């Protein structure tokens, strides 16, 4: 049976963070992920995760000012030390929470810096992160983000993320494949995921338009999910969407796409 993870930074926001674990369990999810867990004490998160028997699919390295519209910390010349400090913070959480993968967001530095300079910095930082998380057995990934939602993003297509992977040439480095972002960018989702299936460490999804639940937009999830599985994916598909109402009221898609 197909397995789904719930991103509890996006979903179950009707509840305080630590109560979202129980809500996700009641809804039938087998795993959770948290975009940025750093506002909650790590031991509290660990206790909630273990109490409900969850795996954790992914968490992000702290991304500096990228979530408030800034260029971020991973691909900006001059912010290399800031990125290293972010990796150290992420390591302290990752040791306790044991996510399957940890994601490095590229940010949106292209409004201020030349692309090649940003790629050089991103490559060096990707190697640093991949090596750091390899020391605790956690895969490191990078994610392409669509340019409609995030103008100026450094990595906006799967091939661009893979360009950094190839430059870095580190065995502990791959990509996070986000169905929503790449659907917005017009990619052939099954073909692209299949091409790089061996380098994908996490898969996320939301429908478009609106970044809401499957069935609220135009993405053919039945075809996409089964096509990616036929290519060899055996991991979770992680729901990372903005619920149109209360989270529990919009979970009918689980039964629709469970197999």
Distance CA 156, CA 146 (A): 5
* C-beta neighbour count of 153 within 10 angstroms: 26
In 3-state terms, what secondary structure has residue 51?
helix
- Given the residues 33, 176, 213, 240, select the one marked as catalytic: 240
Contact predicate 133/94, CB 8 Å: yes
- The pair of structure tokens assigned to 84 is 């290293």
- Given the residues 33, 143, 176, 213, select the one marked as catalytic: 143
Distance CA 237, CA 173 (A): 19
Phi-psi region of 3 (alpha: psi -120 to 50; beta: other; left: phi over 0): beta
* C-beta neighbour count of 63 within 10 angstroms: 21
Distance CA 112, CA 102 (A): 27
Q: Is 240 a catalytic residue?
A: yes
Distance CA 255, CA 259 (A): 8
Which positions are catalytic? 143, 240
């Amino acid at each position: 049976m197909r397995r789904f993870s719930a991103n509890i930074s996006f979903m179950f926001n009707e509840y305080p963070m630590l109560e979202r674990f129980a809500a996700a369990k009641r809804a039938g999810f087998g795993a959770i992920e948290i975009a940025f867990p750093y506002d909650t004490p790590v031991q509290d998160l660990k206790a909630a995760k273990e109490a409900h028997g969850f795996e954790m699919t992914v968490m992000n390295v702290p991304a500096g000012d990228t979530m408030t519209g800034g260029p971020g910390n991973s691909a900006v010349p001059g912010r290399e030390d800031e990125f290293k400090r972010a990796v150290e913070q992420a390591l302290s959480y990752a040791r306790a929470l044991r996510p399957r993968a940890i994601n490095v967001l590229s940010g949106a530095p292209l409004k201020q810096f030349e692309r090649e300079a940003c790629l050089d910095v991103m490559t060096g930082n990707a190697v640093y992160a991949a090596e750091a998380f390899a020391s605790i057995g956690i895969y490191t990934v990078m994610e392409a983000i669509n340019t409609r939602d995030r103008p100026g993003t450094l990595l906006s297509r799967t091939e661009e993320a893979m360009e950094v992977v190839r430059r870095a040439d580190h065995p502990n480095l791959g990509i996070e494949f986000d169905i929503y972002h790449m659907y917005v960018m017009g990619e052939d989702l099954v073909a692209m995921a299949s091409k790089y299936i061996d380098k994908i460490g996490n898969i996320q999804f939301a429908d478009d338009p609106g970044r809401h639940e499957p069935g609220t937009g135009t993405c053919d999830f039945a075809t996409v999910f089964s096509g990616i599985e036929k290519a060899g994916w055996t991991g979770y598909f992680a729901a990372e969407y903005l619920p149109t109402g209360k989270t529990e009221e919009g979970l009918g898609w689980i039964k629709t796409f469970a197999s």
